[in-house]
């Protein structure tokens, strides 16, 4: 699946936000695959093209991204072309123009569900992505929001469900998605990004340079993370998500019967 410009975006049910190509696969790939198996119409937005990556090139990452997208079973993948390592930092592109692009994307795609990175993160772009998405969600529904840049106005849109996913900083999740059946595909999608996650050597594309993501324990640490959260709900692998407000339940019996609290293997200290 080729990456598409945001100006050619269509409507989708679910919008996944990835600060750099590979974040969606690493941190929430199982849930994306599960939603796709459940028949949801999903798209991913890559906020940047990963042009500041130590390893690989934009062209190589683009090829890797196409292969990973096919495995996840999504319908489209769009580029927002924000400056890598300068999201919401005003060095290269004004913050107002950056947020205009995000508001445009939300209003054009009109998702019911948006899944984006949680605020606390190791990479500043991930925290900045959280902030710009949070602001854009408000402005996407503000009729008189004024666009800056070349994009035209689009009718306002309110996203009903907003979920935050975990990267490498732990939080106490609101709920955990069982991704056991999707885990092989998640790993296959991650390994599509061979320039980033494998310790391939070679002078071309700086593949000799060591990074956290390419270290031997990088993917196993994500697998351990997902195994740990899975054990809290009695399954092999789980991906943790956070919501801003407690979930409202309409049908209590159905909700309670679908839970796996009794088969937890790890219990949080009550303190």
115-142 CB burial, b ≥16 within 10 A, e <16: bbbbbebebebbbbbbebbebbbebbee
The dihedrals phi and psi of 16, each to the nearest 5 degrees, come to: -105, 130
Smallest distance from Zn ion to CB 51, Å: 12
Provide the mask over 194-223, with x wherever binding to Zn ion is found by CB under 5 A and - wherever it is not: ------------------------------
Shortest CB 102 distance to Zn ion, Å: 16
Closest residue to Zn ion, judged by C-beta, is 20
What sections of 146-267 are H helices per DSSP? Answer: 183-191, 194-197, 218-232, 252-257
3-class state of residue 239 by DSSP: strand
Least spacing, CB of residue 23 vs Zn ion, in Å: 4
d(CA 138, CA 96): 14
Closer residue to Zn ion, CB minimum distance, 25 or 182: 25
Residue (31 or 127) nearer to Zn ion, CB: 127
The half-sphere exposure of 28 on its side-chain side, counting CA atoms within 13 A, is 25
Write the DSSP assignment of 127-171 as a string of letters: HHHHHHHHHHHHHTT-TTPPP-SSPPP------SEEEEE--SS--
Give the residue with the Cβ less far from Zn ion, 161 or 215. Answer: 215
Q: Which is nearer to Zn ion, 20 or 110 (CB)?
A: 20
The residues near 82 (Cβ < 8 Å, ≥ 6 apart) are 47, 48, 93, 98, 101
Q: Least Å distance between CB 18 and Zn ion?
A: 8
CB 27 within 8 A of CB 163: no
Q: Which is nearer to Zn ion, 23 or 64 (CB)?
A: 23
- In the complex, least distance from residue 152 CB atom to Zn ion, rounded to whole angstroms: 30
Binding mask 8-47 for Zn ion (x = CB under 5 A): -----------xx--x------------------------
Q: Which is nearer to Zn ion, 61 or 107 (CB)?
A: 61
Per-residue contact track with Zn ion, 77 to 116, x per CB under 5 A? ----------------------------------------
Q: Which is nearer to Zn ion, 11 or 170 (CB)?
A: 170
Q: How far is the CB of 245 from Zn ion (least distance, A)?
A: 27
List residues binding Zn ion (CB under 5 A): 19-20, 23
């Amino acid at each position: 699946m080729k990456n598409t410009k945001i100006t050619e975006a269509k409507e989708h049910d679910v919008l996944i936000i990835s600060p750099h190509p590979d974040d969606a696969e690493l941190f929430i790939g199982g849930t994306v695959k599960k939603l796709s198996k459940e028949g949801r119409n999903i798209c991913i937005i890559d906020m940047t093209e990963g042009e500041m990556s130590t390893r690989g090139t934009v062209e190589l990452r683009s090829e890797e991204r196409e292969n990973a997208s096919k495995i996840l079973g999504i319908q489209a993948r769009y580029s927002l072309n924000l400056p890598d390592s300068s999201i919401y930092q005003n060095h290269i592109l004004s913050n107002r123009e950056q947020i205009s692009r995000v508001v445009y994307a939300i209003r054009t795609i009109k998702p019911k569900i948006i899944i984006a990175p949680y605020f606390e993160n190791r990479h500043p772009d991930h925290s900045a992505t959280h902030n710009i998405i949070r602001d854009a969600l408000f402005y996407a529904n503000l009729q008189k929001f004024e666009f800056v840049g070349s994009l035209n106005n689009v009718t306002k849109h309110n996203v009903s469900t907003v979920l935050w996913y975990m990267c490498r900083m732990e939080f106490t999740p609101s709920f955990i998605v069982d991704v056991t059946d999707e885990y092989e595909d998640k790993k296959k999608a991650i390994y599509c990004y061979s320039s980033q996650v494998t310790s391939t050597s070679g002078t071309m594309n700086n593949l000799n340079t060591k990074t956290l993501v390419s270290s031997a324990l990088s993917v196993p640490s994500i697998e351990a993370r997902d195994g740990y959260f899975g054990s809290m709900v009695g399954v092999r692998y789980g991906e943790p998500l956070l919501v801003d407000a407690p979930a409202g339940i309409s049908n209590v019996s159905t909700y309670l019967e679908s839970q796996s609290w009794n088969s937890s293997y790890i219990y949080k200290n009550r303190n």
